[in-house]
Structure 1
Amino acid sequence: MEFEHLGARPRISSGAVVAPSAVISGDVTIGDGCQILHGAVITAEGSPIVLGENVIVMENALVRASSVHAARIGSHSLVGPMASVAGATIADQVFLASGTRVFNGARVGEGSEVRVNAVVHLRTVLPARSVVPIGWVAVGDPVEILAPDQHERIWELQHDLDFPGYVFGLDRDTPDLMVQLTERYGAALARHRHDRRLD
């Protein structure tokens, strides 16, 4: 399904294949030879999304751009089932395994592997040919790749990356943080009420 969102329409190469149950919304460019499988969602929420050539986005994966963070996925890369890329830049020939999460402002270098259920945190820079092991967390610039049981170190690094400020423009110490976050974000997402189905 294709949708016009905020006045922008998807641009899909005639050589790409998009499953009928996939959702492509807004300012999205999908290159030649791409395969977008059932249940995948590629949604541009105000900034563009660009997929190079021969990108595979598998079942129930999500690629999202926010109003301030574009998303780009380089050629010959694979986004596995139930993986999520939010406002990040993925270089060529990257493997994002099932259940991986790559957050806003992150950059994943060419030829890297982010294995099953691993995380590349916001504003993290993963150099070319890096490997994030199954379930591990990559965080920071310079990056540290940490086992999930190293929560205190992950939080120490993550805290300074300021997720609520960077992604939502809100101070972490705001007393009613979740009230403000959900109201502000909900208002932005409500712009979908004006979307127009194209196919």
Structure 2
Amino acid sequence: MLKRLAPQIFAAARACSGGQLQQQANRTLAGSSVTSDKFPYFDAPNGPAVTSVPIEEEWYNRQRNLLPIMDKVPWIQPDTWVAPNAVVSGDVDIYDKVGIFFGAVVRGDLNKIRIGGYSVILDRAVVHAARAVPTGLNAATLIGDSVTVEPYCTLRSCRVEPKVLIGARSVVCEGAIIESETILTPGSVVPPARRIPSGELWGGNPARFIRKLTGNESKVITDSAEHYIALADMFMREELPYGTQWREVESYREKQVASNEYQWLNFREQKYLMRLHEEAEQLARLSQK
């Protein structure tokens, strides 16, 4: 039944918005065995999760990915790429050819964060710095050159020397030191104040020595950073350059919408109608048992 009503549901989604969406959904379902009278929750005041601003008027992502905190302002190089939904805030210095990927957070609100050249912070990784650490050492987070921080990692008030690969979902705690040419396996947890010597493979929770790195593994560290830097360059070329040219593009598209030359399909409303119908069918099957 859902497939049979899909064209009507999509037509309803394109034809209505706001408060009319619920009424149109009820009319669409009226010909089926599922009606609004049988399931009064259809008339609930909460409708689809849509904003008050028409979606066709939102052409660009207006999230700010560089945020000052009081007098602490992020400093980046022109060839550094920060993803549109990543956040770099506070006392953060990012040097040449760095990539901050989608959903990553680099937050220097309590202390300094320094990220060296040709390093990458991948998706949803978090880099933070505490105000102080129990060891009494510098609580800043210092990341050297050619370091790859894989997705979902957390680094806090630690020191990572150049040419290090930190596996996905790893945690490096306060005061830890990872020396150069080191690999952490995915899911590793480096306890506070732990020192990992150069040229070794560590892993586990807590992280333990596994073995010495081979020559090929040492090359993997730099190859990984170079691969993601090339990917960041590609993403950067896809973005609009700095300037006000986007205003003319937005004005042109608004004219297209006004003259019906550009049609926007609101998939959020369509998905809501589909989910509404699926829930109604499930309740209908349960009531027949």
TM-score bucket of the superposed structures, by smaller chain: 0.5 to 0.7
Q: Which residue of 2 aligns with 1:188?
A: none
Matching of residue 31 in structure 1 with residue 101 in structure 2: no
Per the normalisation by structure 1, the TM-score is: 0.68
Unaligned runs of 5+ in 1: 139-144, 148-199
Alignment of 1:67-82 (within 5 A): 67-68=131-132, 69-82=139-152
Per the normalisation by structure 2, the TM-score is: 0.47
Q: Which residue of 2 aligns with 1:46?
A: 110
Alpha-carbon offset, residue 58 of structure 1: 0.2
Matching of residue 13 in structure 1 with residue 77 in structure 2: yes
CA RMSD of aligned residues (A): 1.4
Give SS of 1:104's match. coil
Q: Which moved more, 1:2-11 or 1:53-62?
A: 2-11
Q: Which residue of 1 aligns with 2:206?
A: 137
Unaligned runs of 5+ in 2: 1-64, 133-138, 211-289
Q: Which residue of 2 aligns with 1:86?
A: 156
Matching of residue 112 in structure 1 with residue 182 in structure 2: yes
Per-residue CA distance 1:24-57 (angstroms, 9 max, x = gap) = 0100001111010000000013211000001110
Q: Which residue of 2 aligns with 1:58?
A: 122
Q: Which residue of 2 aligns with 1:160?
A: none
Is contact 1:6–1:46 with CA below 8 Å preserved after alignment? no
Per-residue CA distance 1:153-191 (angstroms, 9 max, x = gap) = xxxxxxxxxxxxxxxxxxxxxxxxxxxxxxxxxxxxxxx
Is contact 1:109–1:130 with CA below 8 Å preserved after alignment? no
Query: In terms of Rg, which structure is larger?
Result: 2
Q: 2:195 aligns with which of 104, 125, 138?
A: 125
Alpha-carbon offset, residue 146 of structure 1: 7.0
Q: Which residue of 2 aligns with 1:155?
A: none
Identity of aligned residues (%): 26
Whole-angstrom CA distance in 2 between matches of 1:120 and 1:113:
12
